């Protein structure tokens, strides 16, 4: 199903969600210095035999049906120089959020997990100390809501936030070949947090506007005074 | 700064307090243009929060942009009626209120209203008066002033982008909106600086004669007595009243029409390349940060290009032919876009971004200057309102059309070709039409000089807000003596 072409030391990630047959090919560039190398396919310490071979490419065929078969497969070309390429067979990763999610008390927090393929099941966890506690239907639904937006997108909403809700949350997507996790860190602020800079800026605006207006009134008074003098001089 | 009121020349001071006003305009214009762009940082988070699609979020930007440009005429009417200062201060207040209420929104519809309409309208009330007041404070150095003021946009964008990111990381989107609301209140500060300037209502005939001799480009400054007379004449029908607030007779003005058509055409291809530059870069395999860096290059070059263009446009050689310079800038912009598909490597795109930044800055710096040059500072208030609402449609259409082209053909180059072609066309059109316009004006000027007839439309440098042209013909007899005194009556367009 899948093939790959590589010429120099390379890595490639291949995402597998469900059991499939995979073909990995190492192809040598015609302009390479390496001629007629000895090729071995390895996984860890285990050597795998070629399935097919052409003058410039070497292929192995694998049937991946369980998670233990995932991992890194390397093809090593030995000649005057040694060149290798690595294929990483993995389950789909989850796009989580590395940065903290900032939310406010009495507001709601939304965490969205997205993967490339549809997993069999989604599970959300919250951390209690070092333990992972699954969030499931036992917990009140007016506080926790899990929605499946589409096959590969899952959403956790936490309503009526309080300070205790802060911490780390995990979403786990279970595939046939394994599962992957996404991490979210929730931070709950009180409303006063942004209020301080807000008031500071509003005060600054008020002060500046007042200063400008006062300056203008002052300079107008000066002008009027000068104008009066001017008129008087003219009349004289 | 101005001397005693009685002896103040109603001609623009070209300095003094004008520089302070320029700074205020810099801030105000900066917010108006940069704020919608800066909001894009929050969109992903808001999209996740409300569970909406990307296009629903993009509507926030579109509504904001549409309101900012579409509310132009309203802004113009208000400035005509109340002057720049109250309008800007009210606009700043409105922006602040809009964003503060946005931070408490619980649905995307509420965001449309708070961020889109209210803040957009506030920004519109910021943008127009700032541009207008520059025309009132500067004449000899007006292109320079325009260039400097328009430089506010890239500077503000470069400031807002990292600031928004910082606010977002520390306060989430709600807190950020709250604080941004406070920051937008600074537009009120900018507005407070816009000290009203204009012909007082107590000018004497002799004063006017002196001023005419002083007038740098031969603009007439007529005094209060006329204004009072027109007010007294009353008996205005509805049309005249509307005309008083928003000068629809501009549609008979040749220069205005040329500008309008050229610009409406230009805006079809103006903003799309910026919107699609980063996606295009990513499409050619460049990583996200380098793609973002391209936009930074664009902004930095833009920042420098605008004042530089202002200086060039102000010079003795360019100013009389500023319309040609403007057309050239537009065509140059178009040429950049047409050449972009040839740039395939990162270096090529860097070069493109630099030239694009330069061209973009040149056009923006002169955008309002050329309009002022064509219609004069008095009618500029109405002109800018009418122009922005017309541009509103094409500005909104530009990026979506580009997007459709990209989706249909799967290739970005057609979008660039379309934008380039449109702009080259617009530039050429403006060039030819302005050549024609310059010639017609020279001819009219000659006719007037030799025949000394009453010109059909007297352009006045009246910082007040009234429009004359309908009324001036009725006022014929009163105007005669003044005109005889001022031999050097010329139309604004004439070069020195």
Residue boundaries of the structural domains of chain B: 14-197, 247-453
* Residue A30 confidence (pLDDT): 65
Residues of chain B neighbouring A208 (CB-CB closer than 8 A): 186, 189, 192
* Residue B209 confidence (pLDDT): 42
* Residue A9 confidence (pLDDT): 53
Interface contact B6-A227, CB threshold 8 A: yes
- The alpha carbon of residue B399 is apart from the nearest alpha carbon of chain A, in Å, by 28
Burial letters B227-261, b for 16+ CB under 10 A, else e: beebeeeeeeeeeeeebbbbbebbeebebbebbbe
Nearest residue of B to residue A225 by CA position?
B4
**Alpha-carbon gap, residue A20 to A24, rounded angstroms:** 13
> Over 80: is that where the pLDDT of B1 sits?
no
Residues of chain B neighbouring A227 (CB-CB closer than 8 A): 4-6
Asked if residues B488 and B372 have their Cβ atoms less than 8 Å apart, the reply is no
Counting one residue from chain A and one from chain B, the pairs whose CB atoms sit within 8 A come to: 80
Instruction: Name the burial class of residue A131, with classes exposed (0-12), middle (13-18) and buried (19+) by CB atoms within 10 angstroms of its CB.
Output: exposed
B161 CB contacts (<8 Å, ≥6 apart)?
B38, B41
Residues of chain B neighbouring A193 (CB-CB closer than 8 A): 171, 175
B404 CB contacts (<8 Å, ≥6 apart)?
none
* Residue B205 confidence (pLDDT): 36
Mutation target among A145, A147, A194, A227 for the B interface, most CBs of B within 10 A: A194
- The alpha carbon of residue B334 is apart from the nearest alpha carbon of chain A, in Å, by 39
pLDDT, mean of residues B183-209: 67
Dihedral, CA of residue A122, residue A127, residue A128 and residue A131, to nearest 10: 80
**In this complex, is the C-beta atom of B183 within 8 Å of any C-beta atom belonging to chain A?**
yes
**In this complex, is the C-beta atom of B40 within 8 Å of any C-beta atom belonging to chain A?**
no
pLDDT digits (tens, 9 = 90+) for B290-301: 887 888 888 899
User: Three-class SS of residue A10?
Assistant: strand
Interface of A with B in 120-179 (CB under 8 A): 147, 149, 155
Question: Could you tell me the pLDDT band of residue B11, with boundaries at 50, 70 and 90?
Answer: low
Mutation target among A146, A203, A209 for the B interface, most CBs of B within 10 A: A209
Interface of A with B in 24-83 (CB under 8 A): none
- The alpha carbon of residue B157 is apart from the nearest alpha carbon of chain A, in Å, by 19
Place of tokens 């103040």: B8
Nearest residue of B to residue A217 by CA position?
B195
Neighbouring-strand partners of residue A95: A114
pLDDT digits (tens, 9 = 90+) for B134-187: 888 888 888 999 999 999 999 998 888 888 888 888 898 899 999 999 999 999
pLDDT, mean of residues B63-75: 89
Residues of chain A neighbouring B171 (CB-CB closer than 8 A): 102, 189, 193-194
Interface contact B178-A103, CB threshold 8 A: no
Question: Could you tell me the pLDDT band of residue B487, with boundaries at 50, 70 and 90?
Answer: very low
**Alpha-carbon gap, residue B459 to B467, rounded angstroms:** 9
User: Three-class SS of residue A149?
Assistant: strand
**Alpha-carbon gap, residue B456 to B448, rounded angstroms:** 10
Interface contact A208-B192, CB threshold 8 A: yes
Residues of chain B neighbouring A155 (CB-CB closer than 8 A): 51
Interface contact A193-B186, CB threshold 8 A: no
pLDDT one digit per residue (tens) for chain A, 236 residues: 344 444 455 677 777 777 888 777 777 766 666 667 777 888 877 777 777 777 777 778 878 777 777 888 887 777 777 777 788 888 888 877 777 888 888 888 888 888 888 888 888 888 877 777 777 766 777 788 888 877 778 888 888 888 888 888 888 888 887 888 888 888 888 888 889 999 999 999 999 999 999 998 998 888 888 878 877 887 77
* Residue B198 confidence (pLDDT): 67
**Alpha-carbon gap, residue B59 to A213, rounded angstroms:** 39
Written as six digits, the tokens of B243 are 């005309």
pLDDT digits (tens, 9 = 90+) for B310-321: 999 888 888 888
Nearest residue of A to residue B177 by CA position?
A194
Nearest residue of A to residue B172 by CA position?
A102
Residues of chain A neighbouring B3 (CB-CB closer than 8 A): 223, 226
Burial letters A152-176, b for 16+ CB under 10 A, else e: bbbbbbbbebeeebbeebbbbbebb
Q: Do domains B14-197 and B247-453 have the same CATH topology?
A: yes
Better pLDDT: B245 or B435: B435
pLDDT digits (tens, 9 = 90+) for B210-234: 444 444 333 433 343 443 444 444 4
Interface contact A197-B179, CB threshold 8 A: yes
Give the right CATH number for B14-197 from 3.40.50.300, 1.20.1250.20, 3.40.1830.10, 2.40.240.20.
Answer: 1.20.1250.20
Interface contact B172-A101, CB threshold 8 A: yes
Interface contact B176-A194, CB threshold 8 A: yes
CATH of domain B247-453: 1.20.1250.20
- The alpha carbon of residue B138 is apart from the nearest alpha carbon of chain A, in Å, by 20
* Residue B241 confidence (pLDDT): 63
Which among B2, B48, B175 is the nearest to A194, CB-wise?
B175
pLDDT digits (tens, 9 = 90+) for B248-300: 788 888 888 889 999 888 888 888 888 888 788 878 878 877 887 888 888 89
Asked if residues B452 and B302 have their Cβ atoms less than 8 Å apart, the reply is no
Instruction: Name the burial class of residue B483, with classes exposed (0-12), middle (13-18) and buried (19+) by CB atoms within 10 angstroms of its CB.
Output: middle
Domains of chain A: residue spans and CATH: 10-90 (2.60.40.10), 98-189 (2.60.40.10)
pLDDT digits (tens, 9 = 90+) for B85-133: 999 999 999 999 999 999 998 888 999 999 999 999 999 999 989 998 8
* Residue A1 confidence (pLDDT): 38
> Over 50: is that where the pLDDT of B490 sits?
no
- The alpha carbon of residue A223 is apart from the nearest alpha carbon of chain B, in Å, by 6
- The alpha carbon of residue A140 is apart from the nearest alpha carbon of chain B, in Å, by 21
Which among A155, A198, A212 is the nearest to B182, CB-wise?
A198
**In this complex, is the C-beta atom of B8 within 8 Å of any C-beta atom belonging to chain A?**
no
Nearest residue of B to residue A221 by CA position?
B4
Question: Could you tell me the pLDDT band of residue B344, with boundaries at 50, 70 and 90?
Answer: confident
Kind and range of the H or E run holding A125: strand A121-128
Better pLDDT: B393 or B331: B331
Judged by phi (left if over 0) then psi (alpha if -120 to 50, else beta), residue A34 lies in beta
- The alpha carbon of residue A88 is apart from the nearest alpha carbon of chain B, in Å, by 22
């Amino acid at each position: 199903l899948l093939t790959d072409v590589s010429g120099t030391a390379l890595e490639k990630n291949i995402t597998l969600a469900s059991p499939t047959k995979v073909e990995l090919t190492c192809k040598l560039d015609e302009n390479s210095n390496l001629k007629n190398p000895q090729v071995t396919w390895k996984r860890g310490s285990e050597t795998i035999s070629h399935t097919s071979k052409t003058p410039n490419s070497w292929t192995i065929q694998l049937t991946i049906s369980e998670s233990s078969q995932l991992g890194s497969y390397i093809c090593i070309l030995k000649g005057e120089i040694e060149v290798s390429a690595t294929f990483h067979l993995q389950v789909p990763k989850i796009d989580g959020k590395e940065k903290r999610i900032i939310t406010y008390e009495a507001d709601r927090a939304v965490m969205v997990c997205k993967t490339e393929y549809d997993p069999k099941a989604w599970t959300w966890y919250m951390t209690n100390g070092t333990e992972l506690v699954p969030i499931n239907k036992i917990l009140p639904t007016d506080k926790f809501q899990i929605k499946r937006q589409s096959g590969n997108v899952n959403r956790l909403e936490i309503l009526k936030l309080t300070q205790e809700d802060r911490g780390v949350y995990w979403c786990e997507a279970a595939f046939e070949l394994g599962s992957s996790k996404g991490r979210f860190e929730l931070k709950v602020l009180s409303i006063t947090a942004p209020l301080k800079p807000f008031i500071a800026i509003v005060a600054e605006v008020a002060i500046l506007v007042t200063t400008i207006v006062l300056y203008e009134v002052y300079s107008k008074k000066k002008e009027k005074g000068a104008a009066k003098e001017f008129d008087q001089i003219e009349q004289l | 700064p101005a001397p005693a009121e009685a002896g103040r020349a109603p001609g623009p001071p070209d300095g003094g307090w004008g520089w302070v006003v320029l700074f205020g305009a810099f801030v105000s214009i900066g917010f108006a243009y940069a704020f919608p762009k800066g909001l894009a940082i929050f969109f992903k988070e808001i999209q996740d929060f409300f569970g909406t699609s990307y296009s629903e979020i993009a509507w926030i930007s579109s509504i904001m942009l549409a309101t900012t440009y579409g509310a132009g005429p309203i802004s113009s009417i208000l400035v005509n009626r109340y002057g720049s200062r109250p309008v800007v201060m009210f606009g700043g207040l409105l922006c602040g209120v809009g964003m503060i209420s946005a931070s408490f929104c619980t649905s995307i519809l509420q965001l449309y209203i708070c961020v889109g309409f209210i803040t957009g309208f506030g920004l519109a009330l910021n943008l127009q008066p700032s541009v207008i007041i520059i025309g009132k404070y500067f004449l000899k150095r007006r292109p320079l002033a325009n260039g400097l003021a328009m430089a506010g946009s890239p500077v503000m964008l470069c400031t807002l982008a990292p600031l928004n990111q910082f606010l977002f990381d520390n306060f989430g989107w709600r807190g950020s909106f709250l604080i941004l609301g406070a920051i937008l209140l600074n537009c009120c500060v900018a507005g407070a600086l816009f000290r009203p300037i204009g012909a007082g209502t107590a000018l004497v005939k002799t004063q006017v004669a002196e001023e005419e001799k002083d007038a740098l480009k031969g603009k007439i400054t007529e005094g209060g007595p006329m204004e009072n007379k027109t007010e007294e004449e009353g008996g205005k029908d509805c049309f005249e009243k509307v005309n008083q607030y928003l000068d629809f007779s501009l549609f008979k003005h040749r220069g205005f029409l040329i500008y309008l058509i050229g610009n409406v055409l230009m805006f079809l291809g103006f903003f799309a390349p910026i919107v699609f530059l980063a996606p295009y870069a990513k499409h050619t395999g460049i990583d996200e940060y380098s793609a973002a860096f391209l936009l930074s290059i664009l902004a930095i070059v833009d920042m420098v290009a605008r004042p530089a263009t202002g200086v060039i446009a102000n010079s003795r050689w360019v100013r009389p032919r500023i319309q040609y310079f403007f057309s050239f800038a537009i065509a140059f912009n178009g040429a950049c876009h047409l050449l972009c598909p040839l740039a395939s490597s990162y270096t090529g795109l860097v070069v493109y971004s630099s030239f694009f930044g330069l061209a973009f800055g040149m056009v923006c710096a002169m955008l309002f200057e050329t309009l002022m040059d064509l219609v004069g500072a008095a009618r500029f208030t109405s002109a800018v309102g009418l122009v922005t609402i017309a541009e509103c449609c094409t500005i909104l259409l530009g990026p979506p059309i580009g997007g459709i082209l990209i989706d249909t053909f799967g290739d970005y180059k057609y979008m660039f070709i379309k934008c380039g072609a449109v702009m080259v066309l617009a530039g050429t059109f403006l060039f030819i039409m302005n050549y024609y316009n310059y010639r017609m004006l020279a001819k009219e000027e000659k006719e007037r000089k030799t025949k000394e007839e009453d010109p059909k439309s007297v352009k006045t440098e009246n910082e007040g807000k009234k429009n004359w042209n309908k009324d001036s013909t009725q006022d014929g007899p009163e105007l005669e003596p003044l005109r005889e005194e001022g031999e050097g009556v010329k139309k604004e367009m004439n070069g020195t």
